[in-house]
Structure formats: structure tokens, C-alpha cells
Amino acid sequence: MNMITDEEADDLDEYYTRNPPAVDPSKNRMANKPFRMILVDDFTADCLATKARIANTTPAEVLKRLVRQELKVAAV
């Protein structure tokens, strides 16, 4: 993944502070669902993002499906 400079990050922060994106809470898939952030390596993040794009879903949904599949296999 390409990293941005501190100056670019500051510019983005300033832009989105002045121009917040329009958000429709009714379209939030994660509404009322607690979540925890996890850190993964670049390769894993890229794989999750690619699988999510292909499936037209989120990386969190892809990861959830993979974990559930793993648990099913372990239960057999």
C-alpha cells in the first residue's frame, strides 16, 4: 500500500472537516453492531479488499464469512 505524507494527510483532514460527506444512516450495514478494529498486514488487507470488491460487500463481511467457515471445519 502506498503511504501518504503528513502534508497530504493534513490536507485531507482539512478538506473533510470543511466538506463532510453526506451520510444516510438508514444505509449503514453496521448500525447497532459493535465492532473492534484489528490490524493486518498489507497482503491480507489487499486480499480482503479484493474479495469484498468482487462480492460487492465489505471486507468485514468477507472476514466474518471466512471465520465462520473455519469454525464449521473445526466443528466437524
Q: Residue 62: how many CB atoms within 10 A of its CB? A: 19
User: Per residue in 13-68, pLDDT tens?
Assistant: 999 899 988 887 777 766 666 777 889 999 999 999 999 999 999 998 999 999 99
Radius of gyration of the chain (CA): 17
**pLDDT recorded at residue 29:** 67
Please, are residues 35 and 61 in contact by the beta-carbon 8 Å criterion?
no
Residues 19, 20, 21, 23: what is their CA dihedral angle, to the nearest 10 degrees?
-150
CA 34/CA 10 separation, integer angstroms: 29
pTM: 0.52
